[in-house]
Structure 1
Amino acid sequence: MTGAGRSRWSRRFIILSAAFLVVWRFGALVGISRRVEVTIALFGFVFHVVFGMAYLLVPSYFGTILATDRVPAAHLAVSVSGTVLLTAGSLLDIPASVESTVESAGVLLWCAGIVAFLAALLWSIRDPLLGGETGTSSHRSDHEWVDRYANRFIPVSFAYLAAGSYELLARVSPLPGLTDGYMPRVTHLLAAGFVVLLVFTLGVRLAPRFLGVPAPKVPTGIVLLTGAVGPALIAFGLTSRSVLVAGALAEAVAFVGFTAVYLVIYLRSDRRRVGSGSILVGTVSGVFGVAIGVTVAVGPLFGLQPFSLGMVQTHLQLNLFGFLGLVIVGFAVQFYPPTAGRFRGANERTARIVIGTLAVGLGTVAVGRVLSQSSFVTLGNGLALVGAVGYGYLLTRLLVEIGSRRAN
C-alpha cells in the first residue's frame, strides 16, 4: 500500500471520529442515556481515531508498511454503519424485537470490521513481530529500548480487542461467551484493554519524538506491564472482590506511571506545543478517574458506602472524556498541527482556545456531577460542545486541505 493511500484512509477515520465527538457532546448536552453516550463516545469518537492512527503507525513501528489498500476502506464502511446501528438501537423508540435486530446487525458489522482490522495489521507485521524490528532510525538509538519493549504490547492490545469484540458478539448470538456477558466487562476489555493500552504503547513512542526527550526506561516498563494486566483482572474480576482490587490497583499504577513518564518528558522538553498541554491535562484527568475506580473497588473492604450515581458518572467522564478525549485530541493536534493549514483560524491560538474550552467543559461537568448541580453539568456540556465543534473544524479543514494538496 502506498504512503498516500495509508494517509488518505487514516484521515477519513480521523475526520469521522471528530464528527462523532460533536454528536457525543451534543447528545450529552440535550440529555441522552449513559448507554447511548458510551456507544457514541467509545465506538464512534475513540475507536475511529484509534483505527485511523493504528493503520498509519503500527506497521511503521515494526519497520514495514500496511500490506493492503482495500481493508481500511471496507473497515471504515462497516465500522461507521455498525456504530450508527448500535446507537440507533439504543436511542430510537422502537419495539424491543426491532431494537434487538438493529443491535445484532450493528454488532455483526462492527465485528466484521474488527476481523478485517486485526487481520490486516497482524499480517503486515507478522515477520518483524518475531524479529524484533522497531523501525527506529539510527539517529534515535536512545529510543530503541523503549520502542522494542513497547512493540511487545501491541499484540496484547489486539488480543483485548478480539476478546471484547467476541464477547460483544456472544451477547447477540448463540456463541458461548468467555464470561457472563455483563456489559461493563465488555467495555473494560475494549476501552481499558485495547484503547488505553494502545494509547500507552503508542504514547511512549510518540511523546518522546514530539517533545525531543527519551522516555525513562523503568517507569515505562512498569506502565506497560501493569496496563496490560489490569484490564483483564477488572473485566474478569467484577464478581470477585480480591481480583477486582488487584486489577484496580494495577490500572492505578499504570495511569499514575504514564502521567509521571509524560510529565518527565514534558518538563525536560523545550519543544512544548498546545497539543502537549492537552495530553498532560488528559493524563491528570485519568489519574483522578482511576482514583474513583480504586475507591469503588477498595471502599467496601473498609466499610465505605457505595458511591453515588454522580460519582460513577464522574469516573466515566474523567476517563472517557478526560483521559481518552483530551489525550487523543492532544496527539491529533500534534500529529496534524493547525499551523500547517491555510484557512481562517489555522493557528496555535485557536487550537489553544479549543483545547482550553474542552478542558474547562470537562472540569465543570465533573464538579457538577460530584455536587449534583445540574446547572454546572449543563454549562460544562455546552462548553464541551463548543470545543468539540472547534476541534472538528480545525482538524477537518486541515485534513481535507492536506488531501487536496496531495491529490494535486
Structure 2
Amino acid sequence: MTAATVSRWARRYVLVGAGSLMAWQAGVVVGVPRRTEVVLGLLGFVLHVVFGKAYSLVPAYFDRTLTFPRAPAVQFPLTVGGVSGLVAASFDVGPSWVGAAGALLWTLGVGAFVATVGWTIRGNPTGRETATGDHNAGRRPVDRLANGFVPVALLYLLAGTYETLALYAGVPPLFDGYPPQATHLLAAGTAGVLLFSLGFRLLPRFMVAHPPRWLVGVVLLTGASGPALLATGVAGGGLLRIGGAVEAVAVVGYAVAVGTLYHRSERRRVGFVGVLGSAACGVVGVAVGLWFAFGRPQPSLAVAHLRLNLLGFLGLAVVGVSYQFYPPSVGTLPAASDRTALVSIAALASGLLAQLVGHVVPVVATFGHLLAFGGAVLYAYLVVAAFRAR
C-alpha cells in the first residue's frame, strides 16, 4: 500500500512538472521576466519531478521504506501553492505579500520533504546499506559513493530554500540576498548533485553497463563543492571563476561517464537520447558560464547559460528519465510512441540550439522558442498518455 500511494503521488508531481514546463516555454515565446522562467523551470518543473521520484528512489537506494507515506500528499499543495505565489510575484500581480506567502509555502513544503526523507534514512545517513543484491555486488562501491552525496543535495535544498525565503520575506540571507545565489544553490546544488548521485545508480542499471569508478568519484566531489563556490562568488570575483571551473569538471566528467555508459551498453531506448542530450547541453552550458565568468559579462549570455543548464542539462535529463520510467509506447492516446518521444527531445534540444544561434541571428531565436514549446507540449502529452494507461 505504501509503494502504491507514493507511486500515485509521484505521478501527480510529474504532471505538475510537465505543466510547468509547458507554461515556462509558453512564457519564453511571449517574453516573460527571467525570474518567472526560474520559478517555473526550476521550482515548478525540475524540482517537482525530483520530489516525486525521490520519495521512492531515495528510501529504496538506502535500503529503507518511506517512514511517512502521506508526506507527498502533505507537501504537494504547499510547493504547488508556493510556485503559484512566486510566479505571481515575478509579474508583480496581487498584493505585496503574495511573494512572501509563496516563499513561505515553498519553505514549508521543502521542510516536509527533507524531514521525511531525513527521518527515513536516519539509521543509514551515508548510504552504506544500498539494498544492492549479491548479483550486483560489483556495483556496490559506486552505489555507496553515490548514496553518500544525497544528504549533500538535501543541505543545498535547505540553503537554497532559505535564500528564496530571504528574498521575499525579509529574513537575514545566508549570502548577499542576490537572486542568482538561490538559483545556483537549488539548480547546481540540489538538482545537479541529485542528478549525479541518483544518476550513477539509475543509468548503469538502465544501460546494463559500468561507468569508470574513478570518474564517478571526481564528478561527485566536484559536483558537490562547485555550487557552494558559485553561490558565494556569483556576484563576481575570483570565487566565481574557481566555482565555474570546479563545476565544469563535474559536468564534463558526467558527460564522459554518460557517453561511456551508452557506448558500453547494448540497449538503445528513447530515454537515453534525452540523457545524452542533457550531457551535451551541460557541457555547452558550463562553457558559456566560463565565458561569462572569465570574459565580459553580457545579459544575453546569462539567459543562454540559464536555459542551457535549466532546460538542456537538467530538463532533458528529467525528460529522458521520465520516458524510461513511463514508456511512451504504453500510452493510450493517439501517436503515443517512442517516435513521438524522440521528436519531443529533438524539438527541445534543437530549440535550445536555435536560441543560442539567435544571439547572433535574432530571427532564429523566435523559431527556437516555438520549437522548444512544441517539445514541451509533446512531453506533457506523452506523460498524460502513459498515466492514462495506468
TM-score, length basis structure 2 = 0.97
Deviation at 1:342, TM superposition (A): 3.5
Aligned residue number for residue 207 of structure 2: 211
Is the CA contact 2:331–2:388 (under 8 Å) kept in the aligned structure 1?
no
Structure 1 residue identity aligned to 2:162: Y
The answer to whether the 8 Å contact 2:193/2:220 transfers is yes
1:327-346, aligned counterparts within 5 Å?
327-346=317-336
Output the CA distance in 2 between the equivalents of 1:56 and 1:349. 29
Query: Is 1:392 the counterpart of 2:388 in the alignment?
Result: no
The residue aligned with 2:163 is 167
Task: Work out the CA distance in 2 between the residues paired with 1:341 and 1:238.
Answer: 43
- Partner secondary structure for residue 126 of structure 1: coil
Q: TM-score, normalised by structure 1?
A: 0.92
Q: CA deviation at 1:204?
A: 1.0
Stretches of structure 1 that go unaligned for 5 or more consecutive residues are: 300-305, 403-408
CA 1:131–1:314: 2 relative to 1, 3 Å: closer
1:318-367 alpha-carbon deviations (Å, 9 max, x no partner):
11111111111011111111123333223211211121122211111121
Letter in 1 for 2:169: S
Two-structure CA RMSD over aligned residues (Å): 1.4
Q: How does 1:263-342 map to 2 (within 5 A)?
A: 263-299=259-295, 306-342=296-332
Q: Displacement of 1:385 after TM fit?
A: 1.1
Number of corresponding residues = 390
Deviation at 1:92, TM superposition (A): 4.6
Per-residue deviation, 1:173: 3.4
Q: Summarize the Cα distance change of 1:93–1:116 in structure 2 as closer, same or farther, 3 Å threshold.
A: closer
Conserved in 2, the CA contact under 8 Å of 1:310 and 1:372? no
Alignment-derived partner of residue 40 in structure 1: 40
CA contact (8 A) 2:328 2:385 kept: no
Paired amino acid for 1:73: A
AA at the equivalent of 1:371: V
* Deviations 1:127-168 (CA, angstroms, capped at 9, x unpaired): 122571112122111211110000000000000001111122
SS at match of 1:275: helix
2:115 corresponds to which letter in structure 1?
A
Aligned partner of 2:76 in structure 1 is: 76
Displacement of 1:93: 4.7
| 1:216-242 alpha-carbon deviations (Å, 9 max, x no partner) | 110010000000000001111235622
Residue 400 of structure 1 deviates from its aligned partner by: 3.2
Q: Which amino acid aligns with 1:121?
A: V
Pick one of 357, 365, 389 that aligns with 1:377: 365
SS at match of 2:124: helix
For 2:171, what is the secondary structure of its paired residue? coil
Letter aligned with residue 357 of structure 2: V
Q: 3-state SS of the aligned residue for 1:16? A: helix
Within 5 Å, give how 1:210-289 maps onto structure 2: 210-239=206-235, 241-289=237-285
2:100 corresponds, among 100, 104, 109, to: 104
Match of 1:351 in 2: 341
Q: Which amino acid aligns with 1:365?
A: Q
Q: Is the 8 A contact 1:142 1:214 kept in 2?
A: no
Q: What is the alpha-carbon distance in structure 2 between the residues aligned to residue 359 and residue 216 of structure 1?
A: 27
Which structure 2 residue ranges, 5 or more long, are not aligned?
A: none
Quote the residue 2:18 is aligned against: 18
- Partners of 1:218 and 1:204 in 2: how far apart? 12
Q: Deviations over 1:98-146 (max 9, x none)?
A: 2x30000000000000100000001111112257111212211121111
Q: Deviations over 1:31-65 (max 9, x none)?
A: 11111111111111111101111112111010111
